[in-house]
Amino acid sequence: MQLFVDNLTNVDFSYLDDQRGLVGETWLASVLLDGGLNQTSMIWDFGLVKKVLRNWLDDQLDHRLLVPTKSSNLSYEIKQDRIYLSWLFADNETFTMEAPLESVALIDAAQINEQTSSQWCLKQLAEHFPENLEHIQLNFEAEDISSAFYHYSHGLKKHDGNCQRIAHGHRSRIQVWRDGSRDEELETNWAERWADIYIGSHEDLVTVIDSEEAGNKASQMHFAYDAPQGHFKLSLTSNRCYMMESDTTVECIAAHIAQTLQQENPTSSITVKAFEGLHKGAIFEV
């Protein structure tokens, strides 16, 4: 017999990819359980399924940087609950991060995808499952989006929760109205502008090392800040970054996109609906 919970929860995170770089992502999680009935004539109580699995995913995957520890692109060291990591992309550009260990998930795989992440999660969760369970299938999938969307990563140092982590992200829709009508061209153009981007705040930018000194095609940008969970540092090449004068909350993102598009289309009124992952976000009109 099987028990299923579709759309159990969703997780927002970032991961390192050899080709794409630092990628913000949002996955829906669903679970399928095989097993015999227990003394209460259940495979597992739905309340416990949701409590155990959802809480674990929220704690161990959500708002973290997923790092494939078997990748040859990675080097890292752990010291006193902090991680120091370096990643070499296929174009020889580099990413480095220093952060509290709780801000990453060290995935025992050569690359991050839905399958390798699911397998890793199930290994970590094994001790939490009741004995009558014979097989567990954890499925991750991205939201089916037919319109424009982008992948972005950021960090919110002023946030009390896990959004303060310097490299977490989202896969997000973008909807734009020009003079009261949806404008798919503006949506697509912005999604292309922000494909696999790190959105940084000028307030958190510490130094910029020019391309010749950094040994890259682009300048190396160094970000750092202190937050309730500790000290965070990150560096990434400028071609993978987009700078904002404000914080990078979804409210500020919606306002920034709308104001930028209005400046580029000065005779039009612009409304932007910016999503932060699934089913939430901000709207700004100008």
What would the pLDDT profile of 106-121 be if each residue is shown by its tens digit? 999 999 999 999 999 9
Average pLDDT, the chain: 94
Q: How far apart are CA 69 and CA 72, in angstroms?
A: 8
CATH number at residue 128: 3.30.479.10
> Any idea which residue has 């502008």 for tokens?
193
Share of the chain above pLDDT 70, in %: 100
pLDDT of residue 247: 97
pLDDT of residue 214: 66
**Average pLDDT value for residue range 124-131:** 85
- Whether the per-residue pLDDT at 15 is higher than 70: the answer is yes
Share of the chain above pLDDT 90, in %: 83
Q: How far apart are CA 193 and CA 6, in angstroms?
A: 33
Residues in the chain: 286
Q: How far apart are CA 16 and CA 169, in angstroms?
A: 11
Q: How far apart are CA 50 and CA 8, in angstroms?
A: 7
Please state the separation of Cα 233 from the chain's center in Å: 17
Do residues 132 and 36 touch, judged by C-beta distance below 8 A? yes
Question: Which residues is 208 bridged to in the sheet?
Answer: 221
Range of the domain at 72: 2-285
In the chain, the number of structural domains is 1
Q: How far apart are CA 281 and CA 250, in angstroms?
A: 6
What would the pLDDT profile of 193-218 be if each residue is shown by its tens digit? 999 999 999 999 999 998 777 677 78
Read off the pLDDT band of 261 (50, 70, 90): very high
Burial track 184-203 (b if 16+ CB lie within 10 A, e otherwise): eebbebbbeebebbbbbbee
What would the pLDDT profile of 39-53 be if each residue is shown by its tens digit? 777 777 788 888 889
**Assigned token pair, 70:** 């078997």
Q: Which of 12, 176, 196, 18 lies closest to 91 in space, CA to CA? A: 18
**Average pLDDT value for residue range 110-136:** 91
Do residues 260 and 245 touch, judged by C-beta distance below 8 A? no
Q: Is 99 left (phi over 0), alpha (psi -120 to 50) or beta?
A: beta
- Whether the per-residue pLDDT at 173 is higher than 80: the answer is yes
> Any idea which residue has 């061209």 for tokens?
185
What would the pLDDT profile of 233-249 be if each residue is shown by its tens digit? 999 999 999 999 999 99
Do residues 138 and 122 touch, judged by C-beta distance below 8 A? yes
Out of 29-43, 50-64, 164-178, pick the least confident.
Answer: 29-43
